[in-house]
Amino acid sequence: MNNPFTFRKAIIVNKVEETPNTHTYTLKCDGELKALPGQFNMLYVYGLGETPISLSNIPIFRGSHTLLEHTVRVVGAVTRAIISRLEIGSLIGIRGAYGNGWPLRDAEGKDVVIVGGGIGIAPLRPVIKYIEHCREKFGRINILFGARSPRDMPYKYELNNYNTISNTKLLLSSDTPAEVWAHYTGFVTDLIEYIDVNVKNSVAFVCGPEAMMRVAVKKLLNKGFKKEYVYISLERRMRCGIGVCGTCQFGHYFVCRDGPVFRYSDVEDYLWVEGI
């Protein structure tokens, strides 16, 4: 019987410093590792422990091995060790992929609104890549991305490329004023007021801090979006990744197994309750 907690060995083949406390790693592991946009892997630092990290790009299978990207921000001991200790050539353990991803098949033929706050853009980045590769399957795309400041934005080197995707609009925001900043100053959720969408044929994908997602959901609903067409990705303390330990319980759901992507209409009774 296979042990679900067995890790694969992976080697770090590339490392990009997005911000001082956020790095993107390209991992190479033998064989094929399938994953959907929105799913996550458990990354294991040998001798220390593991942490759940969403995929930040679509996996690439090259016959004998798979290339994966994970964007890691320092939030605890394991993520701190990844960023401070691991370099190109370092080994890391990986298991997954786990959870439910973004419902891209259900979004085909519809306009898509993507709202990302801070590191919350990382699980949404594979959605953007997927839509770019299958552009004819989707309607208009609005990408709303904000961070505390311009220097806190990951993927600065590619953001302008999103505007070159056919029928796609990118809106950026910075919570705080900056000297060199040609975009909106304020919260990313404010940008929802400025998008032109057919709410009767649109879906919204939202990821970021829970407080930000609550505001985003409220504004999307006020704009006319249906609850069942608004999706959010939750970050909760996850340990096992397979719904066994119960650490990530959210109402009657387990985030690692039933999420991290949820339809808002399924979790609206829980999202507004502090402490769940």
Range 214-231 average pLDDT:
97
Sorted by where each starts, the structural domains of the chain and their CATH numbers stand as 8-97 (2.40.30.10), 104-272 (3.40.50.80)
Long-range contacts of 73-81 (CB under 8 A, 24+ apart): 73/21, 73/22, 73/119, 74/21, 74/22, 76/51, 77/48, 77/49, 78/43, 78/45, 78/48, 78/49, 78/50, 78/51, 79/51, 79/53, 81/45, 81/48
Percent of residues, the chain, with pLDDT higher than 90: 85
Binding-site annotation, residues for [2Fe-2S] cluster: 240, 245, 248, 256
Q: Is the pLDDT of residue 5 over 90?
A: no
> Distance between CA atoms of 95 and 98, rounded to whole angstroms?
8
Taking only the tens place, the pLDDT of each residue in 73-124 is 999 999 999 999 999 999 999 999 999 999 999 999 999 999 999 999 999 9
- pLDDT tens string 22-80: 999 999 999 999 999 999 999 999 999 999 999 999 999 998 999 999 999 999 999 99
Query: pLDDT digit string (tens) for 126-144?
Result: 999 999 999 999 999 999 9
* Res 1: pLDDT: 44
Annotation: binding site = 240, 245, 248, 256
How far apart CA 88 and CA 97 sit, in angstroms, is: 22
- Cα–Cα distance measured from residue 199 to residue 228, given in angstroms and rounded to the nearest whole number: 12
Given pLDDT bands bounded at 50, 70 and 90, which one contains residue 244? Answer: confident
Q: What's the chain's average pLDDT? A: 94
